[in-house]
Chains A and B, each alone.
Chain A
Amino acid sequence: MADLLKLSDVTLGFAGNTVLQAVNFAVSEGAIASLIGPNGAGKTSLFNCVTGFYKPQQGRITFAGAELRPLKPYQVTRAGIARTFQNVRLFREMSVLENVMSGLHCRTGAGAIGAILRLPSQRREEAEIHARAAECLDFVGIAPSEWQRNAANLAYGHQRRVEIARALATSPKLLLLDEPAAGLTKGEKLELVTLIARIRNERGVAVLLIEHDTGLVMSISERVSVLDHGLMIAEGTPKEIQSNPRVIEAYLGAEDAEAALAL
């Protein structure tokens, strides 16, 4: 399959610390891939480079053939990459529906004049925004009774799903999920696995996750890449990664080591 996202020799540093070192990494179209590694390995920083929040000092990042490095974050999203955050970053005092509607901003165009004059095109667009946001919320399984509630008042697991719905509303080709399972119960994690599969199967969206729950990672990923101290130390299928001695060594001492060894 063609490479959808490709990082070539990406190097990122902050005030003397090298966070990413000559990282080569790719995600294929329609793939479900995971990025794992010990804490501080640079995983979120890689996401931030892709989405334009950090500017790497060296290297190339291409997406569907286009260069991502010069783009601003909002342009990256418009190009087709959406993300969720490690700490849920919903717009706290706005309703669930309004949160998801934010994803549709970049796919619509009505401006001030349309709004003030209530032009028919603007009204049509508003109806569409409402409908598409509702559809995304339905897709992730949030009941309509919740849609008008303040996002901050939702149960944690539901908030995470709303964040995913919000990202999906931008009609991405690639979805970046930053630790989507953190804080979820066992049952919610199983639902997450189903959701991720549906996102790829029903909507054709490629998914890249950062995740610490190795069980979840191994059960859903087609390809796993391992980052340690800014270096890509291994890539392969879940089975290959689990028996890779370098990976085990990187995790040795961490609580995940046992889980990795056990599987």
Chain B
Amino acid sequence: MANQSPALNVPPPGEPRPSAWGGLRAFFDTPVKRAVALIVLLVFMIAAPGIFGAYATVILTNALLYTILALGLNIVVGYAGLLDLGYAAFFAVGAYTVGILTKEFHWSFWATLPVAVAAAACAGVIIGGPTLRLRSDYLAIVTLGFGEIVRISARNLQITGSASGISSIEQPWLFGWHISSQRDFYYVFLGLAVIAIICSARLANSRLGRAWLYVRHDEDAAEAMGIDRVRVKLAAYVIGAIYGAIGGAFFAVNLTAISPESFSFQQSTLFLMAVVLGGMGRIPGVILGAFVVVLGPELLRDVGSLRLLFFAVGLLLIMLFRPGGIWPVRRA
């Protein structure tokens, strides 16, 4: 039986669940019902561009991108318990690697993909190696610093196009299909999101996934059980980096132009918000969080510049009153 990773602060036993969610959960209690629900959801997502039109397709594509990145960050923050405030750096590494190699060196996109992944993995090892043994507060600031270093470097260096970034990135071909329209990219991201979800679920239920939880719960006890906590944390960090790089790579060819401002600290906090709002460590929660973060501003258009404030206050309220996130807490 798949044991889902627990929430960070499980409410004490006996606390009643909010009835609306409770009712919903109770309805989907058998695997058959859940499978049917997933299939319906999948069909809906496939049909969505047709139903909702071009503008919505763009928004949904963005939501799917955020889903992928939030799942990656979830591995770092939700599973391994490492507060990473500079996740956008890996997103940037993926995007810029693709941009530079396709634009300057005329590589095919598919050839650049493994390089982007390798580059992010290396970055993860270089930064994570010496710093993951630091206490969590310091680690948070160091990752923030690293995020800024990447952004500023991208802004200053010639090869990354300085402040104006890289434009006119060529969009890829796949067996005769030119992936260029918004619909094309929607389906690409949908596929990637599904893959990301499956990978995350499998990781959560594996030896490594459990090791992350042990280390997050009690580092010293985990060490006493023979778990090399630095290596385990590093694995989380590097895998998270890979998710980020893949998201970044496809982001670059989707937009055909990238600039340093897409990889700022604000971006990193949006990814973090997606992970926390929905429910750290739980895949459905993280997906919900990603959609809330992307769709929220759309639905709150009239609120304008207040929407970031909305999210910040929302995050604060969630941490104070419902640290498990919006997604309901499941009791063992």
The answer to the question of A25 belonging to the interface, with a C-beta cut-off of 8 Å to chain B, is no
**Interface size, B (range):** 20 to 34
A102 CA / B213 CA spacing, docked (Å): 10
Interface pair B225/A106, CB less than 8 Å apart: yes
Given A112-B239, A149-B332 in contact, is the A125-B207 Cβ separation under 8 Å? Answer: yes
Given A101-B210, A115-B203, A153-B13 in contact, is the A91-B228 Cβ separation under 8 Å? Answer: no
Given A72, A83, A105, which contacts B207 in the complex, CB threshold below 8 Å? A105
Given B202, B223, B235, which contacts A111 in the complex, CB threshold below 8 Å? B235
A26 CA / B164 CA spacing, docked (Å): 69
In angstroms, how far is the closest chain B Cβ from the Cβ of A126? 7
Stretch at the interface among A33-41, A92-100, A198-206, A212-220: A92-100
- One digit per residue, 1 when the CB lies within 8 angstroms of any chain B CB and 0 when it does not, for chain A 69-99 equals 0001110011000110100011111110010
Residues of chain A with a CB closer than 8 A to B228's CB: 72, 74
Given A82, A94, A103, A125, which contacts B6 in the complex, CB threshold below 8 Å? A94
Residues of chain B with a CB closer than 8 A to A110's CB: 206-208
Residue in B13, B205, B220, B228 whose Cβ sees the most chain A Cβ within 10 Å? B228
The answer to the question of B33 belonging to the interface, with a C-beta cut-off of 8 Å to chain A, is no
In angstroms, how far is the closest chain B Cβ from the Cβ of A213? 23
> Interface SS of chain B: helix, strand, loop or mixed?
helix
Number of contacting residues on A, CB 8 A? 43
Interface pair A89/B13, CB less than 8 Å apart: no
Given A74-B223, A91-B218 in contact, is the A98-B3 Cβ separation under 8 Å? Answer: yes
In angstroms, how far is the closest chain A Cβ from the Cβ of B20? 25
Interface pair B210/A73, CB less than 8 Å apart: no
The answer to the question of B224 belonging to the interface, with a C-beta cut-off of 8 Å to chain A, is yes
The answer to the question of A194 belonging to the interface, with a C-beta cut-off of 8 Å to chain B, is no
In angstroms, how far is the closest chain B Cβ from the Cβ of A115? 3
Given A74-B223, A103-B225, A112-B235 in contact, is the A94-B213 Cβ separation under 8 Å? Answer: yes
User: Which residue on A lies nearest to B205, using beta carbons?
Assistant: A115
Interface pair B226/A118, CB less than 8 Å apart: no
Interface pair A51/B207, CB less than 8 Å apart: no
Interface pair A105/B210, CB less than 8 Å apart: yes
The answer to the question of B217 belonging to the interface, with a C-beta cut-off of 8 Å to chain A, is yes
Interface pair B332/A77, CB less than 8 Å apart: no
In angstroms, how far is the closest chain B Cβ from the Cβ of A105? 5
Residues of chain B with a CB closer than 8 A to A106's CB: 225-227
In angstroms, how far is the closest chain A Cβ from the Cβ of B244? 15
A90 CA / B213 CA spacing, docked (Å): 12
Interface pair A103/B221, CB less than 8 Å apart: no
Interface pair B217/A94, CB less than 8 Å apart: yes
In angstroms, how far is the closest chain A Cβ from the Cβ of B208? 6
- One digit per residue, 1 when the CB lies within 8 angstroms of any chain A CB and 0 when it does not, for chain B 178-194 equals 00000000000000000
User: Which residue on A lies nearest to B227, using beta carbons?
Assistant: A105
Known interface pairs A115-B202, A148-B1; 13 further A-B residue pairs with C-beta atoms within 8 A, sorted by A's residue number: A53-B224, A72-B223, A73-B224, A74-B226, A77-B226, A85-B221, A85-B224, A89-B220, A93-B217, A105-B214, A122-B206, A149-B332, A153-B13
